[in-house]
A and B are shown apart, each in its own frame.
Chain A
C-alpha cells in the first residue's frame, strides 16, 4: 500500500531583517558573514505570530491542497523548539482552529531542528500502520538566537505542514531512515531564553556526521545514487553547510537550489528542511525523486525519499507557493524594531 503526502503547505511571515542591520549593531563585518555563511536576510515573526499561528497557516494551506475533510485527520503533531507554552500543547489550539477536534491524537514534539521531520515521520508511520486514514506532521519555529551571537544572523521564523494518506498522493514515501546519537552540540536548559552551542564542534561531529550518515544509509537502502534524484534538501543552519553536504554526496547545485531557502529566509529550525521540501514540491514534476534529510542537534537526522506523482500538477496552485510568499510583501525592520518584536528589550512589569 502506497503512503505519501496528500497535501502540503508553508507559511512565511512578512517581516525581514538584513544581515547588514544586525552586523552594524555588533560591529561585525556583514560582507564576511554574507560570503562565509551565505546568509543575506531572514524572516522575523510579527508580534502576534508564534509557532501556533505559523503552524495553523501552514496546515490551512496543506488542507487546501489535500482537499479533504479536516475531521478525517486522526493525528496532528507539531515539532518545534519554540512552543508558546512550556505546559499546554500547541497542537490543541491548531487542531481546534482547523476543526479537527475532538477525535484526534495530538502531541508536541521537540528535538532541536528536527522536531518537524519527527512529526512527519510519526504521522507517516501511523498511516502506514493503518491506524488512521490521514495524519498531519508540522514543523514550525520562531527561532531563538542570543543578541550578538552568530545564531542571530540565521534564527528565523516559518513552518510547513504535511498531510499523509494513502489516496490522492502527491509524493509517495519510498524509504525512511533515522540516524541518532548523543552529541552535545547545541542545547537550551529549562528556563533559559537562548540556546548555547559548541562553536566549531557543531560542524563535523554533529551536522555532517548525522546528515551524511543518514543520506548514505538511505542511498544504500534504495540503491539510488545522487544523479538519480531530481532534487535534494538538507537541513539549513546556514547557507554553506547544506551545499557542502550535497557536494560530498555527489549532488549538483541545481539539484539543491529549489529547496535551498536559507540565504533569504534564515534557519527556521524545525521548519527548515520541511520548508525546503515544500518549496521543491512547488516546482517538482511527476516522477521526480526527492531526498530530504533533516538535522536536529543533540543529535539526529531523519531522512525520506519521495517520488512525486501526477497529482502534484493539480494541487500546487491551490495554496500560496513558498517563493511567492518569500519574495513578496516584505516589510524590513531596523534592529531596534527587531529587538522589540523578538522580546529582546527589558521592559517595566506593567508593559
Chain B
C-alpha cells in the first residue's frame, strides 16, 4: 500500500517544491532540514524551473511490474535551468526505437510535464508526478 507515501510526496511530485539554503544558496530537492553543503538550517521556499536539458539517460528493458506496459522505459538525469539535477522518466517517445541515441541527444532541451507515473493495480490509486519530454 503506497497511498500514505504518495500523499506525503505530493508537494515534490506535483509542484516541484524544493528549498534553498539562505546561507550558501544550495537548492535541495527534495527539501532538506539541514543543508548538506554548509550545515545551515535556514531555508526559503523554492519552486524548480520546468525546462532543462538531458545530461544522460538509460533504457530499462525489464522494469518493475507497475511499469511493464510502458516498457522499455527511459530514465534521464535532467539539468534544469537553474542547475538543479533531477532524475525522471522521459515520455512521449516513439513506441519503436532501435537506437535511442538517434532520438535522445545529450544536451537536448526538455520540458517537465505532469503525468501518471503508475497505477496501483486495477483497483488502487493512480500516482501522478513529473516526467520530461523532448521539446
Residues of chain A within 8 A of B93, CB atoms compared: 331
Residue count of chain B within 8 Å CB distance of chain A: 22
Q: Judging by beta carbons under 8 Å apart, are B128 and A93 in contact?
A: yes
Closest Cβ of chain A to B12, distance in Å, is 12
**Could you tell me the distance between the alpha carbons of A14 and B131 in the complex, rounded to whole angstroms?**
15
Q: Judging by beta carbons under 8 Å apart, are A49 and B115 in contact?
A: yes
Residues of chain A within 8 A of B68, CB atoms compared: 351
Q: Judging by beta carbons under 8 Å apart, are A333 and B114 in contact?
A: no
Closest to B50 in A: A60
Contacts A57-B113, A57-B114, A99-B15 hold; do A48 and B95 have CB atoms under 8 A apart? no
A50 within 8 A of B: yes
**Could you tell me the distance between the alpha carbons of A60 and B114 in the complex, rounded to whole angstroms?**
10
Instruction: Map CB proximity to B onto A237-257 as digits: 1 under 8 Å, 0 otherwise.
Output: 000000000000000000000
A52 within 8 A of B: yes
B4 within 8 A of A: no
A96 within 8 A of B: yes
**Could you tell me the distance between the alpha carbons of A333 and B93 in the complex, rounded to whole angstroms?**
11
Closest to B65 in A: A350
Taking a contact as CB atoms closer than 8 A, the residue among B14, B69, B117 that contacts A97 in the complex is B14
Q: Judging by beta carbons under 8 Å apart, are A337 and B131 in contact?
A: no
**Could you tell me the distance between the alpha carbons of A350 and B69 in the complex, rounded to whole angstroms?**
11
Residues of chain B within 8 A of A346, CB atoms compared: none
Closest Cβ of chain A to B69, distance in Å, is 6
Closest Cβ of chain A to B1, distance in Å, is 16
Instruction: Map CB proximity to B onto A336-351 as digits: 1 under 8 Å, 0 otherwise.
Output: 0100100000010111
Q: Judging by beta carbons under 8 Å apart, are A14 and B126 in contact?
A: no
Taking a contact as CB atoms closer than 8 A, the residue among B65, B115, B125 that contacts A48 in the complex is B115
Instruction: Map CB proximity to B onto A56-71 as digits: 1 under 8 Å, 0 otherwise.
Output: 1100100000000000
Taking a contact as CB atoms closer than 8 A, the residue among B15, B91, B126 that contacts A50 in the complex is B126
Which secondary structure dominates chain A's binding surface?
loop
A46 within 8 A of B: yes
Instruction: Map CB proximity to A onto B122-134 as digits: 1 under 8 Å, 0 otherwise.
Output: 1001101001000
Contacts A47-B70, A48-B131 hold; do A331 and B94 have CB atoms under 8 A apart? yes
Cβ < 8 Å to A, chain B residues 46-92: 65, 68-70, 91-92
Closest Cβ of chain B to A93, distance in Å, is 6
Closest Cβ of chain B to A343, distance in Å, is 9
Q: Judging by beta carbons under 8 Å apart, are B114 and A56 in contact?
A: yes
Instruction: Map CB proximity to A onto B93-118 as digits: 1 under 8 Å, 0 otherwise.
Output: 11100000000000000000111110
Known: A52-B128, A333-B95. 20 other contacts (CB 8 A): A46-B92, A46-B115, A48-B91, A48-B115, A49-B115, A52-B116, A53-B114, A57-B114, A96-B10, A96-B14, A96-B15, A97-B14, A97-B128, A99-B15, A329-B92, A331-B95, A337-B95, A349-B122, A350-B65, A351-B68
User: Which residues of chain A have a CB within 8 Å of any CB of chain B?
Assistant: 14-15, 46-50, 52-53, 56-57, 60, 84-85, 88, 93, 96-97, 99, 329, 331, 333, 337, 340, 347, 349-351
Q: List 24 A-B contacts (CB under 8 A).
A: A14-B92, A15-B92, A47-B70, A48-B91, A50-B126, A52-B116, A53-B114, A57-B113, A57-B114, A60-B114, A84-B126, A88-B125, A93-B14, A93-B128, A96-B14, A97-B128, A99-B15, A331-B93, A333-B95, A337-B95, A340-B69, A349-B122, A350-B65, A351-B69
